[in-house]
Structure 1
């Protein structure tokens, strides 16, 4: 990660932390079932950060699915790290990015960040469940039939969102606009500290400006 991107990621994470701390103080904790539905109206997204809210919404949704990935794997022999599957995902998005006229390596960098952010959530949940057995999931989602198809749908949507925001992501103003959009997505989904940290990890490669 380039020094500028690292500084941007740290700034975004600090901004997000402040925003969600304020949200928690006013709204209180929320379970996954209580989180508000994602913002889907283009006009509402435009008011916050034109063109970038759809991206951060998809990043937040993908992170929330990490809870199900963790629940599906926890207590099994399935590892959090899966280099072969990760390589297949990155090869796939590179090929699809080229078909959309996007820079394959830049898009792969975005998805590599999503993979790492997802694993950050999984590790955090494993640690939480190890320390607090009463909080362990009581059901095991079907990774192949339920979770991965949902992740695949978000992949398709995120590729489309990256294509639609290509010009906006290349502007020097991308970083602050991305931060604004990410804050709103974090607030909308009432992300806790773990998912907030993961959202910060998911952001660094989104802006394409040098």
Structure 2
């Protein structure tokens, strides 16, 4: 069998293999996971199957999508600080003016990096909604159990400095992953990457829900096989 024939046969088997990887990543990150991620079958508190990590770790697409998922999780962690800074004040969770500033900023950064500004803005809209999802979840928790409510109020200006830092890194990761994001099997690979990140960062149920909400726009339609 020559190399071309072997490569063609491997490519033909790739969809099934990637589907198996997504399924092996574990039980869905959270119940009712968004369709952007495949639903894994492993228990949430277990480590990803070694075969999954070994098989996917050598993929350039996996590395690029893992970087986006990891930065999304970092951004979600700031939701706790934002919520704590607003808790007990008249500042609403929804802040359209601030959201517009963020979207305009990342659009400009995308243009500067030669990335697709529309795709970047779509991804960041989901990032913003995910952050608000976590904030609302924390508000519900603190309302139901005031003993768990924050006792200190973080400086929102400093928190936003951290968010801006993550935003810049995320725009760069989006710019660096165009081929991976438009690959035919992006969603299957993203499912594995997101589950890996969930395990690595020890995300709880609420933040896992946030991660699922953060990434539905990461994968674009396309028929390429990634890089």
By the TM > 0.5 criterion, same fold? Answer: yes
Report the Cα offset of residue 50 of structure 1: 3.0
1:173 maps to which of 177, 185, 210:
185
- Residue pair 1:113, 1:204 contacting (<8 A) in 2 also: yes
* Corresponding residue for residue 115 of structure 1: 128
Question: How much is the aligned-residue C-alpha RMSD, in angstroms?
Answer: 2.2
* Change in 2 beyond 3 A, CA 1:8/1:107: farther
TM-score after normalising by structure 2 = 0.74
Relative to structure 1, the CA distance from residue 69 to residue 8 in structure 2 (aligned partners, 3 Å threshold; closer, same or farther) is closer
Shift of 1:13: 6.9
Distance 1:132 1:10 in 2: 32
Question: Does the residue aligned with 2:44 lie in a helix, a strand or coil?
Answer: helix
Answer whether contact 1:121 1:194 (CA < 8 A) is retained: yes
User: Which residue of 165, 180, 185 maps to 2:197?
Assistant: 185
Whether 1:96 aligns to 2:109 is yes
Q: Is the 8 A contact 2:111 2:117 kept in 1?
A: yes
Which residue, 114, 118, 123 being the options, matches 1:105?
118
Instruction: After TM superposition, give the deviation of residue 207 of structure 1 in Å.
Output: 0.9
Q: Distance in 1 between matches of 2:189 and 2:38?
A: 14
Correspondence for 1:61:
74
Deviates more, 1:71-80 or 1:92-101: 92-101
* Number of aligned residues: 182
- Tell me the SS of whatever aligns to 2:114: coil
| Distance in structure 1 (CA, Å) of the matches to 2:36 and 2:163 | 28
Do the aligned partners of 2:36 and 2:187 also contact (CA within 8 Å) in 1?
Answer: no
- Greater RCO between the two (CA within 8 Å, min separation 6)? 1
> Could you say which residue in structure 2 is the equivalent of 1:12?
37
Q: CA deviation at 1:8?
A: 8.8
CA distance in 2, matches of 1:164, 1:11: 20
Which runs of 5 or more residues in structure 1 are unaligned? 1-6, 28-42
Unaligned runs of 5+ in 2: 1-31, 48-53, 223-227
Larger Rg: 2
Match of 1:22 in 2: 44
- Per residue, is there more helix in 1 or in 2? 1
2:37/2:212 contact within 8 Å kept? yes
Write out the 4+ residue segments of structure 1 that deviate beyond 6 Å after TM superposition: none
- CA–CA distance in 1 between the matches of 2:201 and 2:161? 21
